[in-house]
Every structure is written in C-alpha cells, then in structure tokens.
Structure 1
Amino acid sequence: MSRSTDPGHFFQTDASESTRARRAAKSGNKNGDPIILQSKILNVIADPFSPTSIYIAESAGCVRKLNLETKDTKTVYRGPTAPVTSVAIGGHGGDTVFAGCWDKDIWSWNRDSRAVGQRYKGHSDFVKVIICARLEGKNCLISGGADAKIMVWDTATGERLHTLRDKTDTMMALQDLALDPEESTASELVLVSSSSDPQIRRWHISLSSWSQIYDTTQAATSQNKPARDTILEHETSVYTILFSGEDEDSDLWTASADGTAKCLSRAKGWSTEDSYTHGDYVRAVAVTSDWVITAGRDEDVKVWDRATGKLWHVYEGHYEEGYEVVSVSIDGTVRTWDLGKADLEKARIEREAKQKGEAKEEKIKLKKGLMTEEEEAELADLMDSD
C-alpha cells in the first residue's frame, strides 16, 4: 500500500499549516533573482579566482561551483553520500577543493579535474567548519567539528598535526573559525573559534605546538575591567565570526542565536563596540565600508547603515533561514542583492509602497467584515433597486 508524504494529507496545527502556506507562497517569489538548486545549501564561499563565482556545500553530498552571471551550475565535485556542511579552497596555489562532511571526514578534490583526492579522518562527529592556512610555507587545513574538537592538518600528507581542546573541556560543537589577520604571522597563527556555547576562544598555533590564549583582555585590564579567559559578549551560540579587514582595525564581527550581530573592538579588549538587533537567530553577518548585512532564521536579509547603526532596508526573498551581497538558504536558492545607495533607496521605496498597499487592502477587508453576509446581501438588493 502506498503512503503519502505530503504534509497536507496529515493533521496540521494552525501554526504549522500557516508556516507551510507561507513557504509555499514565498517559494515562487523572484526577489534577488533566485538561482534554484535541487538540494539544501549548507555553506558558501567566494571563488578566490573569480569575482562572479561561488562554491556551495549541498545537502545532496556534493560541492557545486556556481557562476552568478551565467547561472552555470554544471561544475560539481562528487563522492560523499552524506550532506556536505562546509567548503574551502587551498592546497598548492589553490588547486584543491576541501569539504567537511556529515560522515565525519574531510574530502578533497583537484579543483580543475574534479578527481577525488586525500580524505582526512579523525573527527568523531560531523565536520562543521573548515578553513585553509599556511604555516612556515606549509599548506594546512583547520577543521572544527560537532565533537567540540579543532584539528590542524598537513594537507599534503593528510597527517593530523594538532587537536585543540578547551582547558575546561566545556567547549561545545564548533560553529565557526577565523584567522586574526593582525596577530597571525608566517610561523604562528592566531585562530579564533566560536561554538554552540556563547564563549569565543583564541588559540596560538605553530607547526610544533599549540596553546589556548587565556588573557585576551590586556586593553580591558588597563581600563580596570576584570580579566577573562574567553570573549563573552553574547548570551548563547555564536554562529559566525569574521574580521572586518586588514585595511581597518580588524575588529571582530559576530552573529549569534541571541538575535544580535556585534562588532567587538580590538582596541577595547574585544568588548562590544556596536550591536545590531536583527531578531531571532542571526546566522550570518557581512561588512562593507558603508553597510552591515545580517541574515537569520526570520528569512530576511537586513542592511544597516554602518555609520549610524540604523536599519536601512530589509530584503525579503528566502522562505527558509538563510555583496552586491549574495545570500544562500536551506530553501535551495541563491539570491543576490544590490548594495549601491541608489539601488538600496529604490528597493526601500518599493518595499514601503508595497507595505502601504497591503495595509490599505487589509483596511478594506476590515471594513467589509463589519457587516454580516445577510446585511451585505440586503445592501446589494437596495443598491440594485435604486
């Protein structure tokens, strides 16, 4: 006997039915010129060799190269039979595509031939995030897993060089990794990590050793603030961390499940300089000289004026959480949004006009709702008789 998997054929709560109807309505929208893929998108990085391309980690167990201009999606790196959670480009001259996977391994392919290469085994739970780095001229890979471990690998040999663990053994599943562009050198990296707890940790890594950085608050201590082993500026999980750029002060930007994205000031011992209340879980943050862009579980991409900290515009498009900004989502779409001031102003005016139209339509519906069906029929008869 065949069994239906259509949720519409089963009992639904009002909330779940409303969510399903909303997603169905939004799935056909064309906001952001969507490129639709056949599986959920779990991670994305820019192509270091092309400003018009990105690499996507898909739940279908592959990495896909996508050209945003031509919308070509034919370059695919296959092999895993489990979802691919993260992607990075590295190796000799950037000739290798790496991917973290739910099968606990890190896969690799030759970037040009797409032939499967080295597999890196060591995590005891799925690999959540990977980044590439160089130490003393050696190409390395750094991975973070749901097993709360950070591992450093020699990409050429597949050898695991280090396994980093918090001294208190309280670190939870890794969420993101970032290299400090100001403090890292050719012989020693300064790594920053975030996890499912609110703590942000820092680490020294060399080829021969590693250590956790416990005193992160030299500047803060000089201001008579208490010392702390970790950076603690959020209330719960920190999903994304990134540095604002080598040409600036390289402050640390964060996105958290507490509903905020924050700028943590290097000069102030990684204390909060600016905070942006996106609402709901904030999954991602991006920064330009003019704008701060946040995205989260509420399905919107929000653009903030970096100078004033005020919300400038909200782009609506995805129907699952998810520069010209590129946004991706587990709804399987890739969308692009203009960040030019003229384009943003046009988009904001159009959104306000749409909201006014919807409000007017709702007002008309309310007025109609003041009469019963019998009264409306009686009024129609009177109008006809007149």
Structure 2
Amino acid sequence: MAFQKGTTAGHFFQTDAEQAKIERRELKANNKNGNPIALKSKLLAAIPDPTSPSAVFIAESAGSVRRVNVDTGDSKQVFRGPSAPVTCVAVGGSGNRTLFAGSWDKDIWSWDLASKVPGRKYSGHSDFVKAVVTTMLGGKDCLISGGADKKIIVWDTETGSRLHVLQDQTVSMMAVQDLVVDPVQSGPDEVILVSASSDPHIRRWRIRLDGFEQIQETSPDAPGAARHAILEHDTTVYKVVFESESEEVDLWTSSGDGTAKCLSRLKDFATDESFHHGDHVRAVAVTDQWIVTAGRDEDVKVWNRTSGKLYCILDGHYDEVTDLVVLDGGRRVVSVSIDGTVRTWPLGQIELDKVNKEKEDKAKGVEKETPAEPPKGLMTDEEEAELAALMGDDD
C-alpha cells in the first residue's frame, strides 16, 4: 500500500486507493442522471411531504430541515435551529401541522409547518437522536424517538413530558437506527412499535399510556418456542418499513450485511424474500411492482418483485445513498445522498427499459443518436402542406 505524496493538503496521508476513490467521484460528480437538485450539505434522511405529491423533507448535516419540490427544484423553505447535523425527520401533531427533527445535539426540534416558527424542543437523550416517529395514543399526540444512547423515549407532544423510556433489559441493545409503527396491530389505545438498531435484533414493543412491554417473539424454526427478538440479519439493521400495498402488510428491512429482506407477518416475521444488494444497504422502498434498495455502493437498484431478480441499476450518486422516498403511488422514487444531491427516478417499466437499453448500447460502443435538425431556411412537411393548402384557397 503506497501513500499519496503532494503539496495539496487533501493529499497528505491518503492511500492510492483513497485517492483513486476521490478522483472517481470527482469525475462522476457532473452527471445529470436522476435530474439532480444540488444542495450544500450532506443529506442524511428524507420523508414525503404529506401536503404535496412532489415534495420531500430532508434532514441536512448543516443543522436544518429543507423542503424540496422535486418537480420545480424549489428548495428555499428551510427550518433552522439546531447547530449540529439533523439525522431524522417526521411530520405529526394535530392535523399533521408540526415538523419534528432529531439532531446530533441530543434534542428533538419542532416547527409549525405553515409559519416555520420553532416550537417545543424535546430534551432527554444523552447521545445523538437517530430516529423519530409520530403517533396517536389514547387520544394524545405522541412523539417517539430513538438515540445512540440505546434508549427509545415516548413523549407527550403537547406538554413535552416523557411518558416512557424503553430499553431492552435482556439482550444488550445498541444505538437505535430506525423506528416504525405497525399499521395493522396498532389501535387507538395501544401502539405496536418496531425498532432497529446497530445490533442485528429487531424488537417489537407494545406501548400504552399507562405502560409498555417488549413483545416476546415466536420462533419460526421451533413451533411453540419463543425468541427474544426478531433475528434475521447478521449485523446492523438500518431501516424498517411496513409495506402499504399488501394485505398482510409485511415488514421490510435493510442491513449492513448487504441484504434487504421481506419479513412475513404470516410467518412470525421470518424471512420470506431476500435481495442481495451488496455492501451496506441503508434504505429500502417498496411498490406493488418493484423493490428499491440503495446504500454505500452509491447505486439505486430496482428489483422485480415477481421474479426477485435485479431489473435495473440507476447510477448517478457519487457517494453513499442514505434514504429513499416513493412518490406518486409508486411511479417514481427519490434518493438522497451524502453527495448533497436529491435525485428523482421514474419507476415505469418503459423508462427502466430505456435506461437498460442505453447502458447496453454504451457497453457495445453505440453512440446515442442526436435528432437531426431540419436545414435552416427550409420548411417542414407540415409547413409545406399548410402553404399548399393556402395557395389552393387562392385559386
């Protein structure tokens, strides 16, 4: 292994491999795939804007949340306050009028969506806040947060008081990576929460206003036997997502072991399907036709749900992809990345086939044809026909 020498500060103590990686990314940075919207910081998470079919809220390392309209490119609406990176974002409260964001400063910030005026700040974690979700519980608007301090805190959104602090007392739980509320088993007075963490265990929690408990799972391998938690991955689970399209509403996961998986509700959340993306898979998104995965290798991969095979690779990002958001009922997906760009990809089969064809042609050395322009000063066929008709009228 050789070390790069040079007078440029960025070249000191860099291996040849590191320098080659930097040069590759610099070459790749100018591509226009996915109609990139370039922002000025690293993008760490994203969610859809419930008030608009073409907008997303993005957590920025610059310490803010930015609303981006992927159709118009407008990114001027910014929610400021934290002085440290924002890692996660959620919308909730009465009428979905409040924006929440967890930060490296250990707090959860809030803003009124319409006015962008800062609201209550929720302080209680002793390390980075990594995940936030909102829910209703016993008629109360509640906020649930997870942190690098291995704690999950349930908050009364209106008063800011802590209702519960959840921790695994049996198997050591590492930093919380993601949280999601089960839309099937949750009800007005009881919420079933699923948590993912830096250890491979996926935990489920039953939460009420007057208490909580960790759910003991049924072992899929030994009928009648229990298991402490869902254990279907080998290492960190970054994302847990419930599918909204299927009747069973299965749980989808992405992991540092290089896979995204469908955990079947009917099989006690055992693996039903596995997609081998490769490298760390930071995000997974699901439509009725496709499974979309993305992560450290910079690519957005689209898998055919029926066959389970890789259908298309959408390349454009030049650093780790951190999140995916499905828009328009599954007709397109938005990806955000450490490279500071927001990219939007159509998921129609015709558009994906076009991407595949262009890649095949490029591999064969076939140059993309540029439509020929008509010679200046000459009329098109339509113009000639129109002129002939006009001249005929003069006869």
Taking structure 1 as the reference length, what is the TM-score of the superposition? 0.88
Aligned to 1:141, what secondary structure does the other structure show?
Answer: strand
How do residues 354-365 of structure 1 correspond to structure 2 at under 5 angstroms? 354-357=362-365
Decide whether aligned partners of structure 1 residues 78 and 143 sit closer, same or farther in structure 2, where only a CA change above 3 A counts. Answer: same
The residue number in structure 2 matching 1:339 is 347
Is 1:155 aligned to 2:171, yes or no?
A: no
Contact 1:135/1:189 (<8 A) preserved: yes
How do residues 104-123 of structure 1 correspond to structure 2 at under 5 angstroms? 104-123=106-125
How do residues 223-372 of structure 1 correspond to structure 2 at under 5 angstroms? 224=223, 226-245=225-244, 247-322=246-321, 323=326, 324-357=332-365
String of CA shifts for 1:341-374, please: whole Å, max 9, x gaps: 100111111112223339xxxxxxxxxxxxxxxx
The residue number in structure 2 matching 1:182 is 184
Contact 1:153/1:162 (<8 A) preserved: yes
Separation in 2 of the partners of 1:187 and 1:163?
18
String of CA shifts for 1:22-62, please: whole Å, max 9, x gaps: 11011111110000000000110000111110001100000
Task: State the AA in 2 paired with 1:79.
Answer: G
Aligned to 2:365, what secondary structure does the other structure show?
Answer: helix
String of CA shifts for 1:283-309, please: whole Å, max 9, x gaps: 000000000000010000000000010
Gaps of 5+ in 1: 359-386
Task: State the AA in 1 paired with 2:76.
Answer: K
The residue number in structure 2 matching 1:52 is 54
Contact 2:218/2:224 (<8 A) preserved: no
Separation in 2 of the partners of 1:356 and 1:246?
39
Separation in 1 of the partners of 2:223 and 2:87?
42
Contact 1:181/1:246 (<8 A) preserved: no
Give the deviation of 1:282 after TM superposition: 0.5
Separation in 2 of the partners of 1:146 and 1:265?
28
Taking structure 2 as the reference length, what is the TM-score of the superposition? 0.86
User: What is the aligned counterpart of 2:17 among 11, 15, 18?
Assistant: 15
Separation in 1 of the partners of 2:268 and 2:210?
28
The residue number in structure 2 matching 1:94 is 96
Contact 1:252/1:263 (<8 A) preserved: yes
Separation in 2 of the partners of 1:253 and 1:6?
43
The residue number in structure 1 matching 2:369 is none
Q: Which has the higher mean CA deviation after the structures are superposed, 267-276 or 349-358?
A: 349-358
Separation in 2 of the partners of 1:5 and 1:39?
23
Contact 2:109/2:121 (<8 A) preserved: yes
Aligned to 1:153, what secondary structure does the other structure show?
Answer: strand
Separation in 2 of the partners of 1:295 and 1:194?
17
Separation in 2 of the partners of 1:226 and 1:232?
14
Deviant stretches of 4+, over 4 Å: none
Decide whether aligned partners of structure 1 residues 58 and 353 sit closer, same or farther in structure 2, where only a CA change above 3 A counts. Answer: same
Is 1:139 aligned to 2:141, yes or no?
A: yes
Gaps of 5+ in 2: 1-6, 327-331, 367-395
Separation in 1 of the partners of 2:346 and 2:273?
24
Separation in 2 of the partners of 1:86 and 1:215?
28
Aligned to 1:267, what secondary structure does the other structure show?
Answer: helix
Please tell me the root mean square deviation across aligned C-alpha atoms, in Å: 1.5
Separation in 1 of the partners of 2:224 and 2:284?
28
Separation in 2 of the partners of 1:231 and 1:36?
39
